[in-house]
Amino acid sequence: MRLLVTGAAGMLGHDVVAAAVRAGHHVTPLSRGDLDVRDFAAVRAAVITASPDAVVNCAAWTDVDGAEAQEAVAAAVNGDAAGHVAAAAAAAGAFTVQVSTDYVFDGTAGEPYAESASTAPLGAYGRTKLAGELAVAAAAPGRHAIVRTSWLFGHHGANFVATMLRLARERDELTVVDDQVGCPTFTGHLAAALVVIAERRLTGIRHVAGAGSCSWYDLAAAVFAAAGAEVALTRGATGDSGRPAPRPAFSALRSERPDTPALMPWQDGLRAYLEAPVSADAVGPKGVTA
């Protein structure tokens, strides 16, 4: 398979490229410096040149708090540009895999959100990602997958796990919120699932995240325990954090579609991350069960 990956220098994009190469595919990786996905003419030219069978769009505005103040800018990347990628791919006969987020939900559910659950984003980031979902669906009917995932951590970008490991070296005490619950997801495992979805052209909305769920407090505790760090943890509240963007209190995901690749438990993702701190290339498709 010929695969084009946008946002290829990012945390997830880097791992998608590595997973696709391991799977034996021909990959064209395009970073933000290589391609401005907001420029439709440039996107169309890049797709024509690469002649891919599938495109995985990892290009995204991921600054949740920053999106509150710059929603139009975030929307250009997460919304309009996602449509550009899907339209160019569809015109070339290629399949699009669009990465989306648990933030399209409001967090009021009493059980994990399935693909058929109603969306109701609380903040700008969620709104712009939902706009991207709609743009992709409109631009490439029957030729796309929208993969919602959550709480990403990997070796090639800033993330919560890396932050906790740094703080463990700097502090003896730490307060972490325990009133947000979600599914921590290792990008090394998610990347392999995205490649499978592209290979099989699994259409429609797909929820793919680390199995199980926990709070940020629970994840921090697991990180410190696994790393052997002695940090006194205190449970905190989201309302006391002073962050400008609202966050869903409960955004765990599940899939009701039996052919959706299922990831290993988030604890296994954390273990894989900690066991290979230098390179995500050490983590392969073993993180996915189809």
| Active centre residues (catalytic) | 125
Residue 26 bridge partners (DSSP): 2
Contact assessment for residue 221 and residue 233, using Cβ atoms and an 8 Å cutoff: yes
Q: Which two tokens stand for residue 223?
A: 């990180």
Residue 280 bridge partners (DSSP): none
Alpha-carbon gap, residue 82 to 75, rounded angstroms: 10
Neighbour-count burial for 111-147, b at 16+ CB within 10 Å, e otherwise: ebbebebebebbbbbbbbbbbbbebbbebbeebbbbb
What is the bridge-based pairing of β-strands 262-263 and 181-182? Answer: unpaired
Letter for the amino acid at 32? R
Helix or strand or coil: residue 198?
Answer: helix
Neighbour-count burial for 156-174, b at 16+ CB within 10 Å, e otherwise: bbebbbbebbebbeeeeeb
Alpha-carbon gap, residue 195 to 204, rounded angstroms: 15
**Cα dihedral sign, 187-188-191-193:** negative
Nearest to 159 by CA among 77, 258, 280, 24: 280
